[in-house]
Each structure stands twice: as structure tokens, then as C-alpha cells.
Structure 1
Amino acid sequence: MSRKYTKIDQYEKQILSMREEGKTHREIAESLGLEKEQIKKWLRRYRIKKEKIESGIPIRTRGQHRKNSEPKNIIAEQAYEIQRLKMENDLLRVFLRFAERR
């Protein structure tokens, strides 16, 4: 049995307008030819996403990041890399002193 997948985001405006009219999940699903659970879960995800945006929490996408994607904050990433390299150099110096090489 194959899974039924529908890009429900294309119905966003229709779902929200019907919900504002006071229609139930079942009525919305029947009018769009979807299942009640799809509507219910989509409205829940939409509400959570909206709450995160309002509270200032960044929305994180799922999955791996693209290899060619631009870093969001280059300066912060470079500062972190410099700090990491300084710590690595300090550790190597301590190791060399301990090994009596220098």
C-alpha cells in the first residue's frame, strides 16, 4: 500500500479562510479532497511555526544543509574558527613541552 502525499501548503489560504469562517477540520478536508488528519496536523504545524516567528525563534529546516549554501554569519564563523585554532595551538605547545621536545 503506497502512501498518499499531498503538497498541502498550496491550500494554505483556503484552509485559513475556511477556518476563520468556523468550518471544522472534517468540512475543510471534504471540500479540498483531503483527509481530516492532514488538515489537523497542518494547522498544528502552522500554529507552532507562527508562534515561533512571533517570539523571535528562528525556524530551522530539517535535513542536511546544502554544500554550496552561503554561511549566514561569516564574521562570527571566522571568529569561532580563529578561537578554535588558538586553542589547538596552545594544546600542541603543552604537549610538546610535556614530551620535552621544546
Structure 2
Amino acid sequence: MRRRYQKVQELLPEIKRMLESGMSQREVAERLGLEGDRPIHDLLKRERKKAKQVLPKQRGRKPARTLQEYKYENQRLKMENELLRDFITLMGRK
């Protein structure tokens, strides 16, 4: 089976211009003589994927926390505990 590959990448600026002028993707494909199932849709999808370039999910162990981070977390939790205790006493509960 022969591969029908057209160099649509080179036509990308012209395709975008046509779409901005109000033509549908199907009309653009017919005007440029592109074959296949939704060639314009697939091209635009690939372009959006390239533009996104998501970083891969980090695997493995989390980086070690520093002593400074632990001290800050302990201080934050103590303050939160005191605020909660004050709120409960103001509400009249023990």
C-alpha cells in the first residue's frame, strides 16, 4: 500500500490564513487538493501538541526537604493549632 504524504507543513501559513478568512477545514483541504480523512484537522492538532510541549511527569523519590523547610512547617502547624484552640474556647467548648 502506497503512502500518500503531502508536504502540508509547508502550507501551514497559507492554511491558517484561509481559516482566518472564514473558510472551513474541508473547503481548505479541497482547495489545496489534500487527500485523506481530515488532513487540516490533523495538521492543526499536531501543531497544538508541538506548541504545548508538556514536561514529562517526574518519577522516583521526591527530593529531600531541608531542615529550614521542616522548621517552617512546624512553626506553621503550631500557629494553626493555637488559632484552632482559641476559636474553640471562644465558641464555649472545651
Could you state the TM-score of these two structures normalised by the residue count of structure 1?
0.46
Pick the structure with greater CA Rg.
Answer: 2
Q: Which has the higher contact order (CA 8 A, sep 6+)?
A: 2
